[in-house]
A and B are shown apart, each in its own frame.
Chain A
């Protein structure tokens, strides 16, 4: 059974095939490590378009397990994951701030 679509707006995330690193699909069509650079879908058509792009990159073996996730926007319209799980996934373990994507490592 397909997962229930989260509430919008949305961004698309995946893991980099080579490193496993968490990445986000940008408006330029590439994948970046910062959720704030992700392309934001405000409607279903845009969400479907972004997921189609992501699935194409999965088929092209750039990323694995792409997923549409809910986002919230800050005052400058930069997105961050809405759910706690995805927020932790985007930054790294909360118990090792020296590791993960929040660090320079």
Chain B
């Protein structure tokens, strides 16, 4: 993984010293809250429903074991013994005291982490495929490109005050595991004989109150021109993006209102202009990419048995292990290795939460079982050990189970994305987490979950859609109905390569009613599915009508 050089270290340390001074001035009264608020937000510090909340960046979701241990230490020393992994592959602390935040940032800097650009109208943490460098289907590891974008965007003076926040995702396989079509900019790496290696560039996707599946504005961008093209996109957005209305300021609105073709023409014109004046950026990108690739070299894989006999025996004899293998273990490009998804969705738990003890256990297991000693955070709020020898999987499963981390539900009904909702968030209209817990209780049978198959349920507590309800096979949106929590049900979304936006099926439900509604939708699917159809396949084949009928027809 990437390691800081002297410039990175100096930049982050300088920023901490600056923020420490700002906090001191705030506490002394020299800075008012109006003056301090934008400064704290630039350092990832929000004031949420109950307390301050600190959001820490995890670039493209990659963590070392030492970094995970430090996150656990911060949770224990400065928070309430736990942390929350987010849909942006970041981590949040819900209870830090303002006076402690500079010390927390110093602790993070010790392990080459920070909270810069985790808030504000700037380019946020670049996200990517949680199986990067491990996936059997990838063209190349997308993380060097993500790191290049991270460095380019870090404190970029031209792009620090954009009309609104800006989110970039990069993948390098045909299977989209980072929801690239639902980002401000999505990049898909292609490599073909005719064009060579380059990116499909998608702009103007997003969720929130105005959801869009982003259109492709460039089919093939040579990889060496990536930064120049991103400069052109950001300049076009910075120039034309609206600043008069917060709700119309995201690039998706600009692309929608200009039209994708007109927007693409404006970007191409700026791209050419930058090319005439400033081809140095292409050379810089190529030179830096060559340097960055070395940080992401594959770990030293061993030549091991592709299918160890004792693992096959355990698979046949232990139902729990078999279910975990079937759903939480992913194929790896290296024979004899696999990637293991560590579910942070125990039934009855809080999606994305991990205790300090669990984080330390995961760090220890990464050291013991992962060839790179790495952990990944997924946008679905789980963790991954990317490079595990298949021979070690039974022992890993048992160790995870001892820490409540072996729930065999990855991609299944109870692997629910849920935003913090009204339990934590100052913006929310309704709670999300209790719904996830009630749905998990309703489907608390791992074999039944396996029989139902892939269903992605995503819950947001308000229209801002942090829980990605627009991209849920089954989406749930919390609303305020005259002071009471109520929930709308949406069906048919996808954040994958077949991206689509879920549609509201009809009148909303109460808290208990929405759980019954989800059960009704699942039962209807089971009664209608053909062959090996997933829920989404059945929905797309039949449309919403049979589900509406089951949900709303008089008994």
A-side interface residues toward B, CB under 8 Å? 15, 17-22, 58-61, 64-65, 83-85, 88-89, 92-96, 99-101, 105
Task: For the complex of A and B, list the 9 residue pairs with the smallest distance between their C-beta atoms, beginning with the closest.
Answer: A20-B51, A20-B52, A93-B423, A61-B29, A19-B97, A95-B433, A64-B33, A89-B49, A95-B423
A17 pairs with B98, CB closer than 8 A = yes
In the complex, A88→B98 CA distance in Å?
A: 22
Question: Which of B47, B99, B437, B485 sits near A64, CB closer than 8 Å?
Answer: B47
B27 at the interface (CB under 8 A from A): yes
CB distance from B325 to the nearest CB of A (A): 31
**Which residue of the partner chain B has the closest CB to A103?**
B80
B80 pairs with A105, CB closer than 8 A = yes
Cβ contacts under 8 Å, B433 to chain A: 93, 95
Size class of the contact patch on chain B: 20 to 34
Given contacts A20-B98, A92-B50, 15 further A-B contacts (CB under 8 A): A15-B51, A18-B27, A18-B99, A19-B98, A20-B51, A20-B52, A20-B96, A61-B26, A65-B47, A84-B484, A89-B49, A89-B50, A93-B433, A96-B350, A99-B80
Q: Label chain A's interface by main secondary structure.
A: loop
CB distance from A62 to the nearest CB of B (A): 10
B95-130 vs A, Cβ < 8 Å mask (1 yes, 0 no):
111110000000000000000000000000000000
B32, B52, B484, most chain A CB atoms within 10 A: B52
B431 pairs with A94, CB closer than 8 A = yes
**6 contacts across the A-B interface (CB closer than 8 A):** A17-B27, A19-B98, A20-B51, A89-B49, A94-B434, A95-B433
If A84-B422, A93-B423 touch, whether A20 touches B47 (CB-CB below 8 Å) is yes
**Which residue of the partner chain B has the closest CB to A92?**
B50
Question: Which of A15, A18, A88, A100 sits near B422, CB closer than 8 Å?
Answer: A88
B483 at the interface (CB under 8 A from A): yes
B460-496 vs A, Cβ < 8 Å mask (1 yes, 0 no):
0000000000000000000000011100000000000
Cβ contacts under 8 Å, A100 to chain B: 50
Question: Which of B350, B422, B437 sits near A85, CB closer than 8 Å?
Answer: B422
In the complex, A94→B434 CA distance in Å?
A: 8
A95 pairs with B483, CB closer than 8 A = no
Question: Which of A15, A60, A93 sits near B29, CB closer than 8 Å?
Answer: A60
Cβ contacts under 8 Å, B431 to chain A: 88, 94-95
Cβ contacts under 8 Å, B483 to chain A: 83-84
Cβ contacts under 8 Å, B95 to chain A: 20, 99
